[in-house]
């Protein structure tokens, strides 16, 4: 990660411990039959894969995709699903909706609304890797989160990306951003 000025905010071991704690909190919430785990593509995939392996066996897996960021560090367009789960996996079911980050809340608000109102889910429980309430633009809260950041960090790694890059980092980094909101390129004298 030599391209941008950054610092590590959570290493692999810390992420694993945070997921263990999240799974412990979620297990009682998911008691009962017919739970469908639904990650938001693509950011939640790494987080969701690691989380569901910590949950009891028998979950059905399906997916939803709602893209809002484009090439920016802030949402650029309205949240609208463009890939939706199989209706039989949602109608009348308890859905565990998972995303990498809850910041503005627009993506998860639309995903929850869509699952409940348009697909007929009986219940939607929201779990996120990162809760970042400082950027909340709509009224929504996660039922459970692994980590909460009260400062407005631009995070990459472990599913979070910048313009599609860095999702596959095994740790979480904060990129330093400039006045324009974009990541600051790293120079030889950078120490961030």
Whether 103 is catalytic is: yes
Residue 151 clears pLDDT 80, i.e. is over it:
yes
Tell me: the pLDDT tens digits for 95-144?
999 999 999 999 999 999 999 999 999 999 999 999 999 999 999 999 99
Catalytic residue among 50, 103, 131, 179: 103
Residue 79: name the closest of 69, 89, 71, 88 by CA: 69
Residue 33 clears pLDDT 70, i.e. is over it:
yes
Give the pLDDT confidence score for residue 76 in this predicted structure: 56
- Using alpha carbons, list the distances in angstroms from residue 13 to 18, 68, 132, 148: 9, 30, 21, 17
Query: Please, what is the end-to-end C-alpha distance for the chain in angstroms?
Result: 12
d(CA 81, CA 66): 5
Task: State the architecture of 11-69+77-151 in CATH terms.
Answer: 3-Layer(aba) Sandwich (3.40)
What does the domain layout of the chain look like in residue ranges?
Answer: 11-69+77-151
Backbone angles phi, psi at 60, to 5 degrees: -90, 140
Tokens linked to 153: 């960090």
């Amino acid at each position: 990660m030599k391209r941008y000025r950054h610092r590590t905010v959570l290493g692999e071991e810390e992420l694993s411990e945070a997921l263990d704690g999240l799974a412990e909190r979620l297990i009682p919430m998911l008691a009962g039959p017919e739970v469908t785990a639904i990650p938001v593509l693509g950011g939640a995939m790494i987080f969701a894969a690691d989380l569901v392996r910590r949950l009891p066996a028998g979950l059905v897996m399906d997916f939803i995709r709602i893209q809002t960021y484009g090439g920016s560090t802030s949402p650029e367009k309205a949240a609208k699903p463009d890939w939706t789960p199989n209706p039989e996996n949602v109608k009348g079911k308890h859905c565990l909706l998972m995303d990498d980050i809850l910041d503005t809340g627009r993506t998860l608000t639309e995903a929850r609304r869509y699952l409940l109102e348009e697909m007929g889910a009986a219940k939607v429980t929201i779990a996120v890797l990162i809760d970042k309430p400082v950027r909340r633009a709509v009224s929504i809260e996660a039922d459970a989160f692994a980590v909460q950041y009260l400062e407005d960090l631009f995070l990459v790694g472990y599913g979070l990306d910048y313009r599609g890059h860095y999702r596959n980092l095994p740790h979480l980094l904060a990129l330093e951003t400039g006045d324009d909101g974009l990541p600051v390129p790293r120079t030889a004298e950078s120490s961030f």
